[in-house]
Amino acid sequence: MAVTSPPAAELKATRPRSESRASSPFARIWQQGLGRAGLLIVGLLILFCFVGPMIYTQDPYAMHLIAILQPPSPAFPLGTNNLGRNMLARLMLGGQTSLEVGVASAVAAMVVGVVYGMISGFAGGWVDVVMMRIIDVLRSVPTLFILIFLDSAFRPSALLLIILIALTSWHGVSRLVRAEILSLKEMPFIEAARTIGMSRTRILFVHLLRNVMATLVVAATFMVGDAVLIIAGLSFLGLGLPPPAPNWGAMLANSMAYLPQNSWWLIYPPGIAILATVLSINFLGDAIRKAFDARLNTRG
């Protein structure tokens, strides 16, 4: 859903001074139950993936061939896979790749989407019509199909994969940004900026961009969740991130071959990790949206 957020100046003006509400956006996120849960889970996941390996220093690549497909035990808290590799260590390392690539491709997609949407909304006229038609086309073909096609054509490295995801999932943000720019550019402060002879680039990137920031932060948050899902999905399908570095999607795909052995310890941890990531990011996104939304704020 499109998020309408008023300019920051207006936000301050509508909030009564005497109100005891926290003023910083971070504090307003923290005040909400969902926001707190989201922040805590995201924090724990980051700790688990990035600090975890420093504390739990087992080698995720070492193969213990006498202990393959072992259920959880004190030696291997999350069991081992078909090559006798330590699943807890792999879950941590796999999380690093999944999260890093997820955040990177979300940021890249945001950049493409924001620039495209701003140009389309600001230019108006036939430029806007053509640019929106292009988005209509992209929206009709499911992203996953295009991604799989590109993936099979280029067999990408992690960096190229980030670019491919950015190139295929930017258009939602563009529509959002365009809609905001369309309404913002009729506002008096933009007219004022024009009258004093400010350049179009300056108006676009200094005045308009600053005012769509709230929308962008919300969209970017959700985008990270989507990107983590897309990468996990691609890796699950045997495309996506190249081996041998583990990632959650590929770990799940690997578990499928051992379903008949009922190896539940291979199925649940990576899935729970993906679910927790996406869920907490969605919580966070909702909380940020509410924190920025002045109408909701004044109503309490």
Question: Nearest distance from residue 258's CB to other proteins, in Å?
Answer: 10
Using only C-alpha atoms, the chain has a radius of gyration, in whole angstroms, of 23
Query: Under rule CB under 8 A, which residues in 73-102 are in contact with other proteins?
Result: none
142 lines the binding site for other proteins (CB under 8 A): yes
**What are the distances in angstroms from CA 246 to CA 83, 91, 157, 273?**
13, 8, 14, 13
Report how many residues bind other proteins under the rule CB under 8 A.
45
Cα–Cα nearest to 227, from 155, 114, 140, 143 = 143
185, 121 Cβ separation under 8 angstroms: yes
Q: Which is nearer to other proteins, 35 or 53 (CB)?
A: 35
**What are the distances in angstroms from CA 151 to CA 86, 238, 240?**
29, 10, 7
Q: Which is nearer to other proteins, 8 or 253 (CB)?
A: 253
With CB under 8 A as the contact rule, the residue among 278, 284, 287, 288 that binds other proteins is 278
With CB under 8 A as the contact rule, the residue among 18, 140, 195, 201 that binds other proteins is 140
Question: Nearest distance from residue 115's CB to other proteins, in Å?
Answer: 20
254 lines the binding site for other proteins (CB under 8 A): no
- Bridge partner list, 86: 80
With CB under 8 A as the contact rule, the residue among 47, 192, 213, 275 that binds other proteins is 275
124 lines the binding site for other proteins (CB under 8 A): no
Q: Could you identify the residue written with the tokens 């959002």?
A: 176
Question: Residues 196-225: x/- map of binding to other proteins (CB under 8 A)?
Answer: -----------------------------x
Question: Cα–Cα distance between 130 and 187 in angstroms, integer?
Answer: 25
Burial of 255 (0-12, 13-18, 19+ CB in 10 A): buried
Question: Cα–Cα distance between 150 and 156 in angstroms, integer?
Answer: 9
With CB under 8 A as the contact rule, the residue among 151, 211, 216, 217 that binds other proteins is 151
- Token couple for 187: 């506002």
- What residue ranges bind other proteins (CB under 8 A)? 133-134, 136-146, 148-154, 225, 229, 232-233, 236-239, 249, 252-253, 255-256, 259-260, 262, 264, 267, 270-271, 274-275, 278-279, 282
